Amino acid sequence: MTEGTPERRLPRETWVALDMAGCPNRCRHCYLGFPSTRRVEGAVLAGLAARFRDWVRPGESAPYLRHVQAYSWFREPDYRDDYRALYDLEGEVSGRAPQRFELLSIWRLAREPDYARWARSIGTEVCQISFFGLETTHDWFVRRRGAFRDSLLATERLLEAGIRPRWQLFLTRRILPEVGELYGLVDRLRLRQRTEALGAPFQVFAHTPGPDGEAFLIEELRPTVADLARVPAELLEASVAHLGRPLGEAEGDIVARLRRCDEPVATRWGNTGPLGFYVTSGFDVYSNLADLNPWWRLGNLAHDDVGDVVARLEGAGAIGLRVLRDVPLSALARRYGRPRGRRIYTEGDLVSRWVLLECRRRWTEPPSRRA
């Protein structure tokens, strides 16, 4: 969590992402969930960024933040029809060109041929596309008929525009019977040759979903160590090379290790990127340290000041932040760890699962008993 460990000060640069458009999908792995989305005008984003930019920390005389980057989305980029105007607005409000983090709207790529060319014109060189299986499995996972075909068409549109596609395959027990055939599409579509013609190798890798947000509801689909034998060896090797680590290890092995670790959870928490804020269209605000479950909520900017939000972040004013600050890893491992578990996790993902379980337990307690 480096940038955002509870009781550390907010860095001098941050970002604020307002959900102005929502998402066409309801993916079963999405850690951001499906908050209701209403249309929000551009002036609201500009005003929100100004509130953060102008905030003065108590006891100081000048605005605290040196830079605030504004975004009009945090689920599907460019989903609104006025996406070009919103992109320009993000840059105008922020004073810097917005990033796209190698993400584009797959939905729009499949429906608007000019979109890929526009994306290339603003400097996009790579776009990541997620696959959850072949057509039936993929569409089930995304909860949208036609999503698989959209992803294949998006791949073609990217290549035509000079943008390199990168495929990530989500390893679940639903994809295992067809992962070989799905991986075989790389050769059938000549993706390696066509991407190399754009100046770099084609990348494809696999990993397991995290356990946060909606993905907690599909934990029974998490593969086991034995299941990895069904994944093509070439794909496993490419995945390890891309991720810079193994896909994971058996839960029981992690449990045995962390039952001896008395460090607080925050020392092993996974988010090491710049600290920022998600704001729903109803103005509930969360940090990017975790998902959008209510135990992470920092306030509502319709009636709270930015200072209130920062104070809750820095002072562990949400249940989730108090769990990170106060609870030893050994306590979570003893309470929630399954010593004989063979499902595959990274250490960070397994700790995230335990944190979610502990937060949910505390959230359901009477307010008088909440720590």
What pLDDT is recorded for position 6? Answer: 44
DSSP E strands in 32-185: the ranges are 67-71, 126-131, 164-170
| Integer Cα distance of 282 and 303 in angstroms | 11
Q: CATH number of 2-248+272-315: 3.20.20, 3.40.30, 1.10.1060, 1.10.3470?
A: 3.20.20
Q: Is the whole-model pTM more than 0.95?
A: no
- pLDDT above 70 for 5: no
Cα separation, 319 vs 369, whole angstroms: 12
Work out the average pLDDT over 95-112. Answer: 95
pLDDT digits (tens, 9 = 90+) for 330-367: 999 999 999 999 999 999 999 999 999 999 999 998 77
Over residues 20-62, the pLDDT tens digits come to 988 999 999 999 988 777 888 999 999 999 999 999 999 999 9
Compute the Cα dihedral for 143, 20, 6, 367 and give only its sign.
Answer: negative
What whole-number distance in Å separates Cα of residue 157 and Cα of residue 165?
9
C-alpha 51/C-alpha 69 separation (Å) is: 12
Round the average pLDDT of the chain to a whole number and report it: 94
What is the mean pLDDT of the segment spanning 232-250? 96
Higher-confidence residue of 7 and 367: namely 367
Q: At 267, is the pLDDT very low, low, confident or very high (cuts 50, 70, 90)?
A: confident
Averaged pLDDT for residues 81-96: 96
- The rounded distance, in Å, linking the Cα atoms of 122 and 85 is 13
Interval 178-195: pLDDT, tens: 999 999 999 999 999 999
Return the domain boundaries, the chain: 2-248+272-315
Which of 122, 204, 199 has its CA nearest to residue 155? Answer: 204
Confidence of residue 2 (pLDDT cuts 50, 70, 90): very low
pLDDT score of 1: 31
Token readout for 319 is 């249940």
CA-to-CA distance for 211 and 28, rounded, in angstroms?
Answer: 11
Q: 93-103: per-residue pLDDT in tens?
A: 999 999 889 99
Residue 146 reports pLDDT greater than 80: yes
Distance between CA 26 and CA 105 in Å, rounded?
Answer: 14
E-strand ranges in 194-315 read 203-207, 249-250, 276-279, 284-287, 299-300
191 neighbors 164 (Cβ within 8 angstroms): no
